[in-house]
Structure 1
Amino acid sequence: MAEEARSAPEIVAQQLAQDEDAYRELGARLRAAPPPSVVTIARGSSDHAAGYLAYLVMTRLGCPVASLPPSVVTLYRAPLRLPGGLAVAVSQSGQSPDVVGALSACGAAGAMTAALVNQLGSPLAQAAATTIPLRAGPERSVAATKSFIASLSAMARVVAIWGEDAALLDALQALPETLAAASESDVGPLVGALSGEERLLVLGRGPGFSIALEAALKFKETCGVHAEAFTVAEVQHGPMALIDERFPLLVFAPRGPAQAGLVRVAEEFRAQGAKVILVGPAGLPGVDLAVPASPHELLDPLCQILAFYLAAAALAEARGLDPDAPRRLKKVTKTL
């Protein structure tokens, strides 16, 4: 897990150097016929990545995005109506029948279909009208790391080209260097603070909420810790009743409009006696895990999740677990 996470800077650099025509063609089609809405289709870590895409599309392009549960198609046989829309499926393996079936149904319902997928010969790649290769290479660890980061970088590239966002495109070119710096972050404070914990909440907001969800999953599958993710707004609508003295919280605070609120709530919980670990750029007041700021605030989540992956691998080992082989799990999951 740690080795594959550390390879992310090289993976992203290689990804950025390839498939320019595929990205440009998709961007041109979306500008020529702007979709009224977008649906995403994914499971697990890929679904968390899809949440990042949703925030980018909604905040940068003003197009509403919804996550489509595959069971709406595969179990409930819903008659979808998506004329002129865009359906995006995300998967490392491209093997799960429900994701493939849902994307095919979206195409039959009138949507343009695209797949962001790592395995190019997979059923999902074959089902999509447009395929964007993740170029993450083989991923041996059951817990996804480099493929998740590759998904986010590919999504940022799609949105930058679709919206002709030169600043974001330029920032992407500089991202591998910052990812490499992020891989050197001191994760000791996080590992030390959480080594004896059995539960925690993970908070984020906006584009950073996707990495809060991803971190909560990694705590469960690699560390045996019951973690749940909430936006910093939603946690105040009920879940905060769980928080008492020494209750652990991990807060991701990338730069952007949500950062001030994340820091404020972290400070409030800390003042009430909770054990708060704040992840953010160096110099952020109260930061516990300092991660280098990326070339663009929308790319901060990629750097922060990379540092977290290394922390999670170390935490799992400190708890006597093998992060590469979580119990009861397998790399390719096929659901209906």
Structure 2
Amino acid sequence: MTPAVSPAPESTLMFNEAAQAADVVAAQFARNAGTVAALATDLRANPPPFVATCARGSSDHAATYAKYLFETQLGFVTASASPSVGSVYEAKQKLANALYIVISQSGKSPDLLRNAEAAREAGARVVALVNVEDSPLAQLADTVLPLCAGPERSVAATKSYLASLAAILQLAAHWKNEAPLLDALPALPDALRSAWQCDWSSLTEGLVDAHNLFVLGRGLGLAAAQEAALKFKETCGLHAEAYSSAEVKHGPMALVGPGFPVLAFAQPDETGAGTLAAAQEFRGRDAQVWVAAEQGGDLPLAHSPHPACAPLLTIQSYYRAINALALLRGYNPDVPPHLNKVTETV
């Protein structure tokens, strides 16, 4: 029998939409420059007591990135608000003067809308990062930062996720208002183009028959690990769990033995050495390990204009690899089983 031939990776919506990310980010930076600058000026003049984020799915992984970026670059404690606290429990939160960031591709999920309304009623400044500009979320927010990703037809979010990270990065850079981070913004689109060309075929080929997987990251890189683990599940039918390279030592590492697959994202900052050390420890147990790193990794990472940009470049390279892996495993990454593009949770 002649083996089935997988469709060309370039044939999927996921491939073509992810490939647009660099242009999307460039357009978004230009479109939102004035709004972000005004918001950042006001936040410096009237700093919030803390930042809260509200999101689900891939957007919540973007919120993880916001937490580490705002806390490391700006010093503002940033917490993820559980949507059910407001939408199901209807518990009022003390959010006076807080910055409340809601991240959503569609801007129509009922639980996010209810929490955004409650935050505004509690005196928070509500900022919406949303792709659908005429959505209910955009209409109720105090400030809207459009993601500018355009239509995204694949159920697996790619360019809209990267656009969410880019919007968070642009806000943080202007809020901090210092050269190193600000200077990285115009260099990011070209870095994303380089990341799209990185060869991660060894990962794709090595996971065709896998059943379980750990994905490691830390700090700013944890969001990339979370996003990768989700995409393994939804596009490839591959059970994957994301862990901090420090947290994995508190129990989960007991599962890692000979042949167990581990994908590690070495963030090019103070957390990178710890991630590399964890990967090396797992190699010592004969685990099947891939390390994505700017230097010396199994998977190449495009050079980042600033460490805060690295999670975007990591995921851009990953998206190309995971699209190919899904096809090799017999899945259509554009239409994962049992999933819809818009998930309207309550």
Point out where structure 1 has 5 or more consecutive residues left out of the alignment: none
Offset at residue 278 of structure 1 (A): 0.6
The corresponding residue for 2:124 is 111
Percent identical pairs in the alignment equals 50
Secondary structure of the residue aligned to 1:19 is helix
The corresponding residue for 1:12 is 25
The corresponding residue for 2:339 is 329
Separation (CA, whole Å) in 2 of partners of 1:187 and 1:82:
44
Aligned match for 1:162, one of 160, 163, 175: 175
The corresponding residue for 2:68 is 55
Offset at residue 174 of structure 1 (A): 0.7
Separation (CA, whole Å) in 1 of partners of 2:33 and 2:198:
31
1:250-279: CA deviation from partner (whole Å, max 9, x where unpaired): 101120010000001101111111111111
Separation (CA, whole Å) in 2 of partners of 1:219 and 1:272:
23
The corresponding residue for 2:301 is 291
Separation (CA, whole Å) in 2 of partners of 1:10 and 1:83:
37
Aligned match for 1:209, one of 222, 234, 239: 222
Offset at residue 159 of structure 1 (A): 0.4
Aligned match for 1:101, one of 106, 114, 132: 114
Amino acid at match of 2:187: A
Amino acid at match of 1:276: V
Point out where structure 2 has 5 or more consecutive residues left out of the alignment: 1-13
Secondary structure of the residue aligned to 2:172 is helix
1:134-190: CA deviation from partner (whole Å, max 9, x where unpaired): 111110100000001111111000001111122212111011111111111112100
The corresponding residue for 2:315 is 305
Separation (CA, whole Å) in 2 of partners of 1:55 and 1:76:
28
Aligned match for 1:88, one of 101, 114, 126: 101
1:270-319: CA deviation from partner (whole Å, max 9, x where unpaired): 111111111111x23xx111021111111011011001011110000000
Amino acid at match of 2:109: S
Aligned match for 1:38, one of 36, 40, 51: 51
Q: TM-score, normalising length from structure 2?
A: 0.95
Secondary structure of the residue aligned to 1:90 is strand
Separation (CA, whole Å) in 2 of partners of 1:255 and 1:202:
17
| Number of residue pairs the alignment of both structures matches | 333
Amino acid at match of 1:241: A
Secondary structure of the residue aligned to 2:223 is helix
Offset at residue 24 of structure 1 (A): 1.1
Shifted more, 39-48 versus 272-281: the winner is 272-281
The corresponding residue for 1:196 is 209
Amino acid at match of 1:304: T
Instruction: Confirm or deny that 1:171 pairs with 2:184.
Output: yes
Separation (CA, whole Å) in 2 of partners of 1:120 and 1:219:
29
Separation (CA, whole Å) in 1 of partners of 2:267 and 2:178:
20
Q: What is the root-mean-square deviation of aligned Cα atoms in Å? A: 0.8
Separation (CA, whole Å) in 2 of partners of 1:89 and 1:129:
11
Secondary structure of the residue aligned to 2:187 is helix
Offset at residue 33 of structure 1 (A): 1.0
Instruction: Confirm or deny that 1:251 pairs with 2:287.
Output: no
Shifted more, 232-241 versus 24-33: the winner is 24-33
The corresponding residue for 1:2 is 15
Separation (CA, whole Å) in 1 of partners of 2:285 and 2:76:
39
Secondary structure of the residue aligned to 1:160 is helix
Separation (CA, whole Å) in 1 of partners of 2:33 and 2:170:
10
Q: Contact (CA 8 Å) 2:256, 2:285: kept in 1 or not?
A: no
Q: TM-score, normalising length from structure 1?
A: 0.98
The corresponding residue for 1:232 is 245
